[in-house]
Each structure stands twice: as structure tokens, then as C-alpha cells.
Structure 1
Amino acid sequence: MSRISLRIAIAVLFGILEICSIEAAAQEPGNVPETQAPAPVAAKHPDNDYWRKHDQQLLTDFPWLERFKEADLKLGPPAAGQARVVFMGDSITEGWHFDTPGGVFAAKPYINRGISGQTTPQMVLRFHQDVIALQPKVVVILAGTNDIAGNTGPMTLEETEANLAAMAEMADANHIRVVLCSVLPAYDYPWQPGLTPAPKIKLINAWMRGYAAARGYVYVDYHSAMKDARDGLPVKLSQDGVHPTQAGYDVMTPLVEEGIAKALAK
């Protein structure tokens, strides 16, 4: 073979190898920064005094066990024959104020254990102290909207559902009857806008309804009774689209009373 022919053959061979390497690289998943999918960005809440205190609380006592620790100890066991009910939840439960003099449930043995801003992982960690140790006949669980808002970091719907199931099953194992309440409608969160919570809330509620039916728990559907055309809370029931006004609680009260009665009858 002449020198010219050899050079041509080598050039052709290198050309073929280069083409093959380009095609192989095109078929491989991106492995350089500019071709990788961007990492999910954690939702950030406003920088104000409330949220700074909230974040500090997560560092020192994530589930906030100190909040009701002394009150739980002072409460003691229920009186003989008393049908104690504990409400576990977030600000929507805390804001109900039913266990204060003159409250809507003041004459009943109902205990409010709602903490503003809390997510389901926090509630799971304080569930034994703030629910099981109080020996109620019934627990009313209303939680999940702050998970969607990312108050303690990004969460999947499946993680929220697993935490709701964990609380229900802990109660069940301790002979406490379970009332699972639908997440209230919300079109947007004022402190975390743009997360489109409405369809996510509907998915959690659909799961919760099916789970409660399968496990023999009571399901209370606030959502259907309170939603507007956007699957949010109407102005007549909420000033900020998330937290009920007294008119909102007036809708919720007979629904949860019916749910408690059903649970006690089981």
C-alpha cells in the first residue's frame, strides 16, 4: 500500500471512530452540569419575626414537645365514663378556641392540641405525648395543608399520606377511635404563593377517604362543604383563603360533631 493510500485509510478510520463516539455520547444520560436536570428548589417562606422564630423552633425542638408538655401532665386521665376527644392539627385547629370558657365546645371534654404552622412529620413525633398519653376515646386529625406549603421543607403527597396513616394507626393500636378530616380548600397560600395547592389537596383528600373506608375510620369532609368554584375557601368563610373565620368554623362544627358521634358509636 502506498503512503498516500495509508494516510487516507488512517484518516477514514479516525473519522469513523469520532462519529461513533459522538453518537454514543448522544445516547447517554447527561453527565455534565449543563445537561443535568436542575435540583428541586426548596420553598422559602417570608423573612419576618414569625418565620424566624418558627425556624429556630425547628432547630431546638422540631415537633415542639414543650408546647403542651406541662398541660398534658396537669390534665391527668379522663374521669370515669368520660368520652375525651383530642383534636390534633395545625393553626386551623389551634384557632378554633373551643376549649376556652365560652368556646363552642367549652362544656365538652374536648382537648385542643393544634399548633400553628405544623406539618404532619412534627405531629407524628408528638402524637404519643399529646394524644395517646391523654387516653382519649377519639382523636380528630386535621393536617396536611402545611406539608403542601413546605413549612418544614419539600414533601411529596405520599409522605403526607404516610404520616396521616401513621397517626391513625398509632391511635388504633391504642384503642383510640379515629376521625380523619379532609384538608380544607385552599387556592393559594399567602405566605407561599404560586404552589397551586388546590389539586394537591384534592388528591390527599381522595386518598384519605379511601384509606378511612378501608380501615374502618370515620372521614369528615370539610372540603366539599366549604369549597368555592376554584376549590378554594370563599371570602365568606375565610379572610386569607386558608384559615376559617367564625363563619367557617360554624360550617365545620356540626360536621365534626357528627364524625365524633359516629366514632363513639363504633
Structure 2
Amino acid sequence: MLATAGAPAAQQAPVATDPLFVAPADSLNPEQVRSLQQRLADWPQLDRYRADNAALPPPAKGERRVVFYGDSITDGWGRVQGTTFFPGKPYVNRGISGQTTAQMLLRFRKDVIALKPAAVVILAGTNDIAGNTGVATQAMIEDNLQSMAELARAHGIRVVLASVLPVSDYPWRPGLQPADKVRRLNAWIRDYARRSGATYLDYWSALANAQGGIDAKLAADGVHPTPAGYAVMAPLAQKAIDRALAK
């Protein structure tokens, strides 16, 4: 779930593989090495939205800003051709392709708290399961999600915790059989949302097929939503935001 290195935010789209994890080191070309060096120099990618955040004015009086926070599934929303991102709504996209919950936790203050939203929609965890930044147990994912939620609440930000989207295989890490891991993580997210007073946003039930994956019409590569997939997700997200803001 990675963005094309160096592309402007509006043009970024997920790609299927990460040479850092799937290719021998001696097979990387100079451009790939340069890209990976840049990523490692700014591991949480704090620089990705630095200029956008500086240019974003504070919420207007009465405006209830919402930050969508996640990985490539969020990053591509409104940026992938054929998709729109809640036109007319004061919603801000702060997804970064390829990120795990550990990276997201490190940039949470810059890309969420500093923007002074009324609510944050957190969608994360699938890249942890895929091992994008190394082995991550479910307990590690839970800790990171819980820390983000606690930081938000400490700053008066309503929390919407989204289920991880269904997936039966990762194109860039084939053979992991992640469907059951996704189910178990989602069960924890749902329970934690109930216990903590967060709002649970259930994408999984609306998108999953019988195998615990997602059909090609909704995600052509089995991971990243198509415009049809985002069309299913949008009203679910809006309903969850409305519930969160009404609390």
C-alpha cells in the first residue's frame, strides 16, 4: 500500500510492491535506492503534509472539521481517478500509502491534533498485518490504535475507529492468509470502541465476500477500493461521523 515516490499528493496512487521487502538488495536500481533512503530518513513521513498543514487555516467558527487518518485506502480517497472525497464537507485527508499504525502514531500530533478537528476517522492495521515495517503482533497494533484514540480524546477530538477492510491476500506479500487476522483485529476494534466511547465504523461487513476477502469490483487488487468500493464506504463513514459528533 505504497504511494509512488516523489509524486505530488494529488497524483499519488498505490502500487503493488515495496522493493525494500520483496526484492534482493543488489537488484535495486539507483532511483529505488534513493526513494528508500528518503523514506528511511523520515520514517513516519512527517514531511508529507508539512506544507499542506501550514497552509490549512484553523476551522472557521462553527465548522466541525474531520480528519480522515490512515494508509493508502485513505490516501487514495479522492486522489485515485474516479473517486471523490466528500465534496462540500470540511473533511481533510491525511492518509499515507504503505503506513503502519506505528508510523501513524508518530505523526498523529502533526497531522491530526494540530489541525484542530472535531473528529478523526482512523482506518489502520492492514499494513501491520502485511508486515510492511516488520513483524507486528495484534497486541502491538492494539497498543498503537489505543494510543491514537487516547491522544485524540485528551484533546477533545471525537474518535471514529474503522474496521480493517477485508483481505484474503496481499499482492506484495502473497501467502500470508490474512483474513482471520483481520477478523480478530476487527473484533478487538469493535470491543475497544464500545468500551472507550469511540464510534465503530464497520466497513468490513459491507465489503467482505464469503472467503473473508473483497470482490474485484470493489477492490481490483483485493486490497485497494475501486470507485465502487469507495461509494459503498462513503455513506457508512458519514453515518459514523454523524453519530460521533452527536455524542
Counterpart in the other structure of 2:163:
182
CA distance in 2: counterparts of 1:90 and 1:53, whole angstroms:
22
**Per-residue displacement from partner, 1:230-255 (whole Å, max 9, x unpaired)?**
10011121110000001100110000
CA contact (8 A) 1:99 1:105 kept: no
Q: 1:196 to 1:247 in 2, by over 3 A?
A: same
- The equivalent position to 2:129 in structure 1, one of 148, 156, 172, is 148
**Per-residue displacement from partner, 1:39-60 (whole Å, max 9, x unpaired)?**
xxxx933466797566324420
The count of corresponding residues between Structure 1 and Structure 2 is: 223
Per the TM alignment, residue 175 of structure 1 is displaced from its structure 2 partner at its CA by 0.2
User: What is the TM-score of this pair, normalised by structure 1?
Assistant: 0.79
Q: Which consecutive residues of structure 1, in runs of 5 or more, have no partner in the other structure?
A: 1-42
After superposition, residues 1-266 of structure 1 pair within 5 angstroms as 44-46=21-23, 52=33, 55-97=36-78, 103-266=84-247
CA contact (8 A) 1:119 1:144 kept: yes
Q: 1:239 to 1:125 in 2, by over 3 A?
A: same
CA distance in 2: counterparts of 1:77 and 1:139, whole angstroms:
16
Where 2:46 maps in the other structure, the secondary structure is coil
CA distance in 1: counterparts of 2:32 and 2:136, whole angstroms:
19
- Higher-Rg structure is 1
Q: 1:45 to 1:53 in 2, by over 3 A?
A: farther
Where 2:187 maps in the other structure, the secondary structure is helix
Q: 1:203 to 1:215 in 2, by over 3 A?
A: same
Q: Match of 1:156, as an amino acid? A: T
Q: 1:125 to 1:104 in 2, by over 3 A?
A: closer
CA distance in 2: counterparts of 1:187 and 1:54, whole angstroms:
29
CA contact (8 A) 1:139 1:179 kept: yes
CA distance in 2: counterparts of 1:250 and 1:169, whole angstroms:
30
Q: Match of 2:104, as an amino acid? A: M
Q: Match of 1:79, as an amino acid? A: A
Per the TM alignment, residue 219 of structure 1 is displaced from its structure 2 partner at its CA by 0.3
Which segments of structure 1 move beyond 4 Å, counting only runs of 4 or more? 46-54
CA distance in 1: counterparts of 2:131 and 2:22, whole angstroms:
8
Where 1:203 maps in the other structure, the secondary structure is helix
CA distance in 2: counterparts of 1:160 and 1:257, whole angstroms:
25
**Per-residue displacement from partner, 1:179-233 (whole Å, max 9, x unpaired)?**
0000000000000001111100011100000000001100011001100011001
Counterpart in the other structure of 1:7:
none
Q: Which consecutive residues of structure 2, in runs of 5 or more, have no partner in the other structure?
A: 1-19
Higher relative contact order (CA 8 A, sep 6+): 2
CA contact (8 A) 1:91 1:114 kept: yes
CA distance in 2: counterparts of 1:161 and 1:51, whole angstroms:
32
CA distance in 2: counterparts of 1:222 and 1:242, whole angstroms:
13
Per the TM alignment, residue 103 of structure 1 is displaced from its structure 2 partner at its CA by 2.7
**Per-residue displacement from partner, 1:137-158 (whole Å, max 9, x unpaired)?**
0000000000011111111011
Per the TM alignment, residue 73 of structure 1 is displaced from its structure 2 partner at its CA by 1.1
CA distance in 1: counterparts of 2:39 and 2:153, whole angstroms:
28
